[in-house]
């Protein structure tokens, strides 16, 4: 069984910046096969398909990404480029602290919310006219990265990337509903989902997350049912199960270690939980991967 790798951010196009742009073909060439195996990153990836189509493994689900689609991959998600495709694309990778570095406090919270809104585990399609705008924004980032470093470069890159993210958020919001109320409800639902992910194994009660979002449990229930078709409790369980699967890929972790890391008092309780929602034991799941 191969141990899953976690890739740290490595500058490519500009060694002074925590953002880079690379083509899909070059990424596969530089990756030397590692990116076609399940792996994690500790940074965000924006992936745009410009020609053809590609299948991408994202948290054990296969996403078909076609020409004109984009996908955002969050830190710590397990993913891989599946082989056997004929396509081209653009990959923008950036560390979260790149956007936050030197940013005003109000901007920090806004950027976190925008990243939450983009965090759908499925591709989103861009129409031709929208792709032209996105291509222009990508070009501006690429052009700035090619310039010699100066004290203004980081701010310029932050602004260019923020503009791109804002543009994508606007498109996603328009795809759901233009009303302010609906957008606010969707944002709460997405913030909840993100909070659950970063708190997995530490917090598990619906009341805790409702308090963190400063809304009632009833409102949280309504927003999740409306936008995800699931209750908050089910979303918490699914997040815990997903993190269990991610950790089980790593053969260096014993099942009892995983159980304790995820907040279970006893390994047997973890095994019961896993079998209840996946229908097989953790050990059987681990064996099925390789």
pLDDT in tens, the chain (290 residues): 456 788 899 888 788 899 999 998 888 887 667 778 888 898 999 999 999 988 888 888 888 889 999 998 988 888 888 876 678 999 999 988 887 666 555 454 566 666 766 766 678 889 888 999 999 999 999 999 999 999 999 999 999 998 998 898 888 777 655 544 556 787 788 889 888 988 888 878 999 999 999 999 999 999 999 888 889 999 999 999 988 988 888 888 899 999 999 999 999 999 999 999 999 999 998 888 65
From the options 3.40.50.300, 1.10.10.10, 2.60.120.280, 3.40.640.10, give the CATH code of 5-176.
Answer: 2.60.120.280
Count other C-beta atoms under 10 Å from residue 100's C-beta. Answer: 14
What is residue 52's DSSP assignment?
E
Question: What pLDDT score does 114 carry?
Answer: 67
- Which residue in the block uniquely carries the two structure tokens 């008092």? 265
Per the CB < 8 A criterion, the answer to whether 250 and 4 are in contact is: yes
Q: 268: part of which helix (H) or strand (E)?
A: helix 267-278
Q: How far apart are CA 19 and CA 30, in angstroms?
A: 17
Q: How far apart are CA 40 and CA 80, in angstroms?
A: 9
Nearest Cα residue to 73 out of 13, 122, 134, 12: 122
Its CATH class, for the domain covering 181-289, is mainly alpha
pTM (2 d.p.): 0.74
Q: 23: part of which helix (H) or strand (E)?
A: strand 19-23
Question: What pLDDT score does 180 carry?
Answer: 44
| Residue 20 to residues 6, 11, 123, 215, Cα–Cα distance (Å) | 18, 6, 21, 38
Question: What pLDDT score does 111 carry?
Answer: 63
Per the CB < 8 A criterion, the answer to whether 72 and 120 are in contact is: yes
Question: What pLDDT score does 234 carry?
Answer: 93
Where are the domains positioned within the chain?
5-176, 181-289
């Amino acid at each position: 069984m191969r141990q899953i790798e976690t890739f740290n951010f490595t500058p490519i196009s500009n060694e002074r910046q925590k953002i880079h742009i690379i083509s899909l073909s070059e990424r596969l060439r530089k990756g030397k096969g590692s990116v076609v195996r399940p792996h994690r990153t500790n940074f965000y990836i924006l992936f745009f398909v410009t020609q053809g189509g590609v299948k991408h493994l994202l948290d054990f689900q296969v996403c078909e990404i076609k020409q004109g689609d984009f996908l955002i991959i969050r830190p710590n998600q397990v993913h891989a480029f599946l082989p056997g495709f004929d396509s081209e694309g653009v990959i923008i990778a950036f560390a979260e602290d790149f956007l936050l570095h030197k940013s005003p406090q109000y901007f920090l919270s806004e950027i976190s919310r925008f990243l939450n809104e983009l965090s759908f585990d499925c591709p989103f399609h861009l129409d031709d006219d929208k792709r032209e705008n996105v291509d222009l924004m990508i070009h501006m980032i690429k052009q700035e990265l090619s310039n010699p470093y100066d004290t203004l470069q980081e701010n310029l890159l932050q602004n260019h990337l923020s503009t791109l993210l804002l543009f994508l958020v606007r498109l996603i919001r328009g795809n759901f509903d233009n009303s302010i109320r609906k957008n606010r409800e969707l944002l709460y639902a997405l913030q909840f989902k993100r909070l659950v992910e970063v708190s997995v194994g530490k917090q598990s009660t619906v009341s805790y997350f409702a308090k963190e979002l400063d809304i009632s449990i009833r409102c949280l229930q309504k927003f999740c049912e409306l936008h995800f078709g699931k209750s908050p409790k089910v979303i918490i369980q699914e997040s815990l199960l997903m993190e269990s699967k991610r950790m089980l890929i790593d053969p260096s972790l014993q099942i009892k270690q995983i159980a304790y890391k995820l907040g279970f008092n006893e390994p047997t309780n973890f095994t019961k939980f896993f079998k209840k929602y996946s229908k097989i034991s953790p050990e059987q799941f681990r064996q099925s991967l390789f």
